[in-house]
């Protein structure tokens, strides 16, 4: 039996088992039939982000941000570029801390932007402040295998 990777749908949060030897960029969700990777960050609320954290075999890179935060606006295009170029090695998620204070405090987010990397449900690395594309890439490579 081929090895399978659990990929959580960015549209409906269903957990899909994708054969690891198939090209995941073309895979579609078994429930909602949207593409599992769209090359854009998924904007999720706390409850949805927790489902991804719990069920994803891929590393998740979550950008905790807020609309009033200038450095967060500087981070946004870098994060979008990362999603466009680094999927499906990692899943890129944005969480608005003003709308979702619970998950931000659960993971000890104080200053924003804060970038947290999750693997197998755990925080494996984190960085506060604007983070460059090279760092995001190094995380996707380090935790993506
Ligand atoms: Zn779906």
Q: For 6-45, what is each residue's pLDDT tens digit?
A: 999 999 999 999 987 777 888 999 999 999 999 999 999 9
Question: Which residues does 22 contact at the CB level (< 8 Å), separation at least 6?
Answer: none
pLDDT tens for 39-66 read 999 999 999 999 999 999 999 999 999 9
- Whole-number Å distance, alpha carbon 15 to ligand 1 midpoint, is 8
97 and 104 Cβ atoms separated by less than 8 Å: yes
- Whole-number Å distance, alpha carbon 47 to ligand 1 midpoint, is 16
| Tokens matching residue 35 | 């593409």
pLDDT at 129 over 90: yes
- Whole-number Å distance, alpha carbon 48 to ligand 1 midpoint, is 12
């Amino acid at each position: 039996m081929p090895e399978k990777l659990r990929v959580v749908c960015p549209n409906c949060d269903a957990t899909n088992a994708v054969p690891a030897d198939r090209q995941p960029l073309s895979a579609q969700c078994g429930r909602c039939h949207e593409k599992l990777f769209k090359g854009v960050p998924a904007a999720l609320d706390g409850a949805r982000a927790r489902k991804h954290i719990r069920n994803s075999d891929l590393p998740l890179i979550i950008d905790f941000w807020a609309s009033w935060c200038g450095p967060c606006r500087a981070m946004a295009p870098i994060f979008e570029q990362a999603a466009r170029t680094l999927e499906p090695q990692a899943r890129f998620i944005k969480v608005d801390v003003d709308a979702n204070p619970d998950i931000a405090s659960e993971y000890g987010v104080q200053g924003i932007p804060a970038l947290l990397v999750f693997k197998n449900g755990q925080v494996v690395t984190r960085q506060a402040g604007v983070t460059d594309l090279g760092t995001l890439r190094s995380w996707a490579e380090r935790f993506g295998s």
